[in-house]
Every structure is written in C-alpha cells, then in structure tokens.
Amino acid sequence: MEVNPRLPGWTTPRLIQLAHRVDIIEQHIKCVIGEECDHPIRQSRASVAQFLAPDCDGTLAHIRGIDLAAAVPGIAEVAFYVEPGVSLVRRGDCSDIIGHIIASSADLTRAEAILRRSIDLIDWEVTPVGKGKQLGT
C-alpha cells in the first residue's frame, strides 16, 4: 500500500501524452493548485515502450545507431542513460535498465512493429567481465 500516492514516472507520462494528447503532469499540477483540469481524451493511439538492459555484467563497449533508430517514423524517443566505457553490474531490478525506446502509432500492432524496427537498428555491446565480447541486444 502506498501512503503518499504519486504520478507514475519514467516513460508512463510520455506514453499517455502520445496516446491521448494529455499531459498528466500538467493536469496533476492544475488539480493540486486548484485550477480546473482538462480531462477530454483528444485522440486514441497506441504507444509502447521497450526498456533496454544488458544480459551480462561487464563494460559497455559501444552504442551505435541511435540516430537511425530515432529517425524511424513513429519513434518518439530513443534514450540511453549511460555512455560507452561504463561498468555495468546487474542487480535484477529496474536499476539494470540503461535506456528506452518509445513508439506511437494508430494501432498497437503497428506501434510494436515500429518499436521492433527501431530496436533492430541499434547495436550496443557489453564486454563481459573476464571474457570476450558479447552482444547486448
């Protein structure tokens, strides 16, 4: 049970904004300060996110193709939170996530296809501790 409810974080506000053209952060602030909130859904689209996490501990060797992935029509965001050279130690929780991609389209099947196409354009590699190179995705 959460005693102090809050807005969802990470990619959720962006997914809602893409799907319904509603900025839930702005609407929340309006409600908190006593202003009238806008509730109408202005559009209904599908928006999906994929979080990126390494499949082994090691050093992030490189990230390539971010610009290509971001240029795919329907991609709203491609973000990596780390730079090559960083040491990655997985903990088995959300702190393992090193990036995300968000796609939006008129329907879910198309949004998922756009997301997959974008992911396939990104090449990132983790050099495992004490081993040869291993592909991250």
* CA 100/CA 80 separation, integer angstroms: 7
2 pairs with which residues across the strands?
none
The CA angle 83-62-136, to the nearest 5 degrees, is 105
Which H or E run contains 71?
A: none
Q: Output the CA–CA distances (angstroms, integers) from residue 39 to 28, 60, 92, in the order listed.
A: 11, 43, 37
Catalytic: which of 6, 14, 64, 117?
A: 6
Active site residue 116: no
Spatial neighbors of 30 by CB under 8 A, at least 6 apart, are: 36, 37, 38
Question: Which residues form the catalytic set?
Answer: 6
